[in-house]
Chain A
């Protein structure tokens, strides 16, 4: 089991990554999971147990909506998730927050590295 400080840190960004993925186009659960597995395996999100609870919460909050439809590849019914207008707004807000956040944290890291080098 990974340390809790890492787990919490990762959880915070999962919502944003999911909004980005669903914002590109409609996707269903397993598709989201395989996508995360191939591109974001370092984050270790690719589990139904981590993805679905967030999807339920975002659906309840009105950020995503879903519809049942036949999957293109095979006959089974899949639940496709899509962003709502509110979801898109929240995603844009999160993206702008993320850039500020990243800049701020990077500054602190740079300062830390400088003092470490000076020692």
Chain B
């Protein structure tokens, strides 16, 4: 009974994760103190009122938007990661395709001996691929986190 009440409050609480943990701890203390003083769980629950009301009472006082801001930040981060992933991976894919302009060096019938050195002195392609993959992974993880948060 007590557990169900606390769980319902926890679910209804729209505050930061830290405060939610604190409220759950405090609710356990409220019940323990009341029971020590000869009250029953039913009496405490009656005094506390409906779980949603109790949870809203806290959120109203705190005006804690950190949970909301956190989600907004995660959405923005996911979008940025997605854009970086798409850009890097399509850049990599473009370099891998065989479609080469007809006048390009190296497509001649005979062998030619021209070496083109990159301005950076090393191959950028593996880095572009790695950045793309990491960005894609971050985007996926963030989307999972946002969805998981919304479920609760």
* Residues in chain A within 8 A of chain B (CB atoms): 28-30, 34, 47-50, 52-54, 56-57, 60, 73-74, 76-79
Contact = CB atoms under 8 A, between A and B. Distances in A.
Given A30-B34, A56-B19, A49 B54 contact: yes
Nearest to A34: B37
A76 B30 contact: no
Nearest to B22: A56
A56 B58 contact: yes
A53 B61 contact: yes
Nearest to A48: B30
A50 B30 contact: no
A51 to B, nearest CB: 10
B70 interface: no
Interface residues of B, number: 23
Contacts of A74: 36
B33 A76 contact: yes
B33 to A, nearest CB: 4
Contacts of B47: 47-49
A30 B57 contact: no
A54 B61 contact: yes
Given A28-B33, A53-B57, A73-B36, 9 more contacts: A29-B33, A47-B47, A47-B49, A56-B58, A57-B61, A60-B64, A76-B33, A76-B36, A78-B29
A11 to B, nearest CB: 10
Given A76-B33, A77-B29, A49 B62 contact: no
B13 to A, nearest CB: 11
B25 to A, nearest CB: 8
27 contacts: A28-B29, A28-B33, A29-B29, A29-B30, A29-B33, A30-B33, A30-B34, A47-B47, A47-B48, A47-B49, A48-B47, A48-B48, A49-B47, A52-B30, A53-B57, A53-B61, A53-B62, A54-B61, A56-B22, A56-B23, A56-B58, A56-B62, A57-B62, A73-B36, A76-B32, A76-B36, A79-B26
